[in-house]
Amino acid sequence: MKDISKIESEVRTYINAARKINVLLKDKIAWNKLCSSLDIIGDTELAIKEYLKIKKTKNDGEKYLIVFGILQILFVQQDAVNNLCEALNIKFPLNQDLIKIREIRNDSIGHPTKRGSGEGKYFNFISRPYLGHTGLSLMTVYPSREKETEFRHYNIHELIRTQNEIIYNSLIEVVKKLKEEEMEHRKKHRDKSIAGIFPTTLHYHFEKMYESTHQTAPLDIGKINYDVVKKNLGEFITELQNRGVYDAYDWLKYHIELIEYPLERLRNYFYRIDDVPNDKDAYIYIFFLEKQFKEIVQMAKEIDAEYQEDL
């Protein structure tokens, strides 16, 4: 038996990556369908594993309970994988083996008392003498005299092995597509360093801003260097937006939002507009700004390193 739980966990890893989850969360319906489907895949797999541990049953009632339960679990697991793929815009064609399992469920425990319509109607009966927790015999009766009564026996363990193989391979394909999508994105942008947007002379620009508050350099010198710093930040944000990840890195966005106020106050200081901060306040704003820029540059380097990695 293939370990479906392991592949389910890999799917979770990919969809919870910063960029991917940022995209997925924009469609709440798809996101909720995706999360529900992953949970159900995991839940049904737990139930299947427990079913396979059963060695014997106490009575007919327990046999019915187990058989009804496991066939429904197989049916629901298929639906969960199908809905998972829908949420990710990945095709999941139900092959004939999975369809057969669905039909066995429908015939035996889903809608046994009336199948088909018109002259195609038929009715199913589970044969109690041949019922066991690992299999069942089904008698199908047709109202039409042209069709004879059918008897079919199904080994549930074989059905589970068949579905396990198909579901496992389908989830492998999901992981493969998610991986390919992420690698395509990284390769598209990895040649451009976002940390490189900030010049190595960044400290120099802050020094000139400090000097303006001490009046050891003209205010215009501070203003020129303030413009450089602000321009670097704007280019950085634009690149993040171009990559579709500006909202993806919460920790980075938090630091960027922190500096909005001091940037605005320093604009007032250097351009002498509106409520102009005094020299001491301006110094404090620059000090805070420089500290935050160091954090942002470090985060940018970490993102660059992530883009260089292969999955």
Q: What is the DSSP string of the chain?
A: ---HHHHHHHHHHHHTSHHHHHHHTTSHHHHHHHHHHHHHHHHHHHHHHHHTT----SSHHHHHHHHHHHHHHHHHHHHHHHHHHHHTT------HHHHHHHHHHIIIIISTT-BS-GGG-BEEEE-GGG-BTTEEEEEEE-SSTTS--EEEEEEHHHHHHHHHHHHHHHHHHHHHHHHHHHHHHHHHHTTS-SGGGS-TTHHHHHHHHHHHHHTSS-HHHHHHHHHHHHHHHHHHHHHHHHTT-TTT-HHHHHHHHHTHHHHHHHHHHHHT-SS---HHHHHHHHHHHHHHHHHHHHHHHHHHHHHH---
pTM reported for the whole predicted model? 0.83
Picking from 254, 257, 253, 279, the residue whose alpha carbon sits closest to that of residue 268 is 279
pLDDT in the model for residue 119: 67
Chain position carrying tokens 């003209």: 218
> In whole angstroms, what is the distance from residue 281 CA to residue 268 CA?
12
pLDDT in the model for residue 287: 97
pLDDT in the model for residue 36: 97
> In whole angstroms, what is the distance from residue 264 CA to residue 266 CA?
5
Determine contact, residues 259/289, Cβ cutoff 8 Å: yes
Tokens of 8: 């389910």
pLDDT tens digits along 176-192: 999 999 999 999 999 99
Q: Report domain extents, the chain.
A: 4-109+156-187, 190-308
Question: What is the chain's pLDDT, residue by residue, as a tens digit (311 residues)?
Answer: 999 999 999 999 999 988 899 889 999 999 999 999 999 999 999 999 999 999 999 999 999 999 999 999 999 999 999 999 999 999 888 899 999 999 999 999 999 988 887 767 889 999 999 999 999 999 999 887 778 899 999 999 999 999 999 999 999 999 999 999 999 999 999 999 999 999 999 999 999 999 999 988 899 999 999 999 999 999 999 999 999 889 889 889 999 999 999 999 999 999 999 899 999 999 999 999 999 999 999 999 999 999 999 87
